[in-house]
Amino acid sequence: MACSKGAHTEDTSTKPPLDSGIEALRVFDFNRSYELFQHMYATSSHEDKDWPLITYNYGISAWLRTPTTAEDVTLAINLLSSVTAQYPDSIYSAAALLDLGRIAEVSDFRGDPTDVTQARIYYERVRTEFPNSEMSTRASLFLAQTYAQTLEQDKINKAISILEACILQETNEKWIGVLALYLGELYNSYLNQPDDAVDPLMLAFKSGLPRPSSADSHLWTIGMLAEKAGRDSVALEAYQRIINDYPRTVFRSVSQERIRKIQMKQPDA
């Protein structure tokens, strides 16, 4: 995330300040974006059409610039909170609530206390105030994570319920791969319930993985879990997809061997 001041090479001297600030954020030059948005914020008012954008980006720059200080984090909280108060229906308000949740959840500097309870309040606000939106889905993922990371079974089950509900929402179609992959991981790695992980992991593959380059490894995991669950037909499908779609993968030869062993168990083999 770190980007030294002046690390961007593009000449922004002729760009409007707003464009230059956004460009600095895009290349993670948070110290430069802080300077630009600080000036824009000082010369704008709540009535300006760009005020929510300026204020939100000023808050993000204050939060992420280095070195992180308590004063900057407090400034970020105040700026982001003002966006949610002044423009509660704006997409910047939804984004600000998400970021306020992350600020509460994560320690930003030495001695900075965390407040997971407050973070959950922010995430729930996004889910309530911006339902059926991408921001709501992001909030659901963050919220589920706060429960899963406790490693307590009842809270992991709560995280699973949140993810399962998201998967069922029609508006989350493009997020199903991410949601299902995390759901399968919770079942397999957190609850040690590999049988329950098979269907979500296969759903993640069919819906589109967050990292397509790892699809061969993902299919291998599905195959192995399906075999352990006694679901040989699913395992065969996973192994065959590896062979057909990823002929150069290191998992090709072992998939062929697994298929042979499964077929040997079948009565008609």
**For 194-219, how does the pLDDT look when each residue is reduced to its tens digit (9 = 90+)?**
999 999 999 999 898 777 778 999 99
Say yes or no to pLDDT of 2 above 80: no
Q: What is the mean pLDDT of residues 162-187?
A: 92
* Residues in contact with 65: Cβ distance below 8 Å, sequence separation at least 6, in sequence order: 30, 31, 33, 34, 72
The whole-number pLDDT of residue 267 equals 63
b/e code 217-247 from CB counts within 10 Å (16+ = b): bbbbbbbbbbbebebbebbbbbbebbbeebe
pLDDT one-digit tens code per residue, 239-252: 999 999 998 999 99
The whole-number pLDDT of residue 11 equals 44
Of the listed ranges 5-19, 96-110, 143-157, 161-175, the least confidently predicted one is 5-19
pLDDT one-digit tens code per residue, 52-78: 999 999 999 999 999 999 999 999 999
- List the alpha helices (DSSP H) in the chain: 17-26, 30-42, 51-64, 70-86, 91-105, 116-129, 134-148, 153-168, 176-185, 194-207, 215-228, 232-245, 252-265
Alpha-carbon gap, residue 260 to 26, rounded angstroms? 51
Alpha-carbon gap, residue 254 to 250, rounded angstroms? 8
pLDDT one-digit tens code per residue, 3-30: 433 334 444 455 789 999 999 999 999 9
**To the nearest whole percent, how much of the chain has pLDDT over 90?**
80
Q: What is the mean pLDDT of residues 254-259?
A: 94
* Residues in contact with 35: Cβ distance below 8 Å, sequence separation at least 6, in sequence order: none
Higher pLDDT residue, 58 or 174? 58
Matching residue, tokens 């990371």: 149
pLDDT averaged over the chain?
90
CB 40 within 8 A of CB 30: no
Matching residue, tokens 């959840």: 105
CB atoms within 10 A of CB 71: 9
Cα torsion 25, 71, 93, 15: sign: negative
The whole-number pLDDT of residue 7 equals 38
pLDDT interval class at 106 (50, 70, 90): very high
The whole-number pLDDT of residue 54 equals 96
- pTM here is 0.83
* Residues in contact with 237: Cβ distance below 8 Å, sequence separation at least 6, in sequence order: none
The whole-number pLDDT of residue 268 equals 55
Say yes or no to pLDDT of 117 above 50: yes
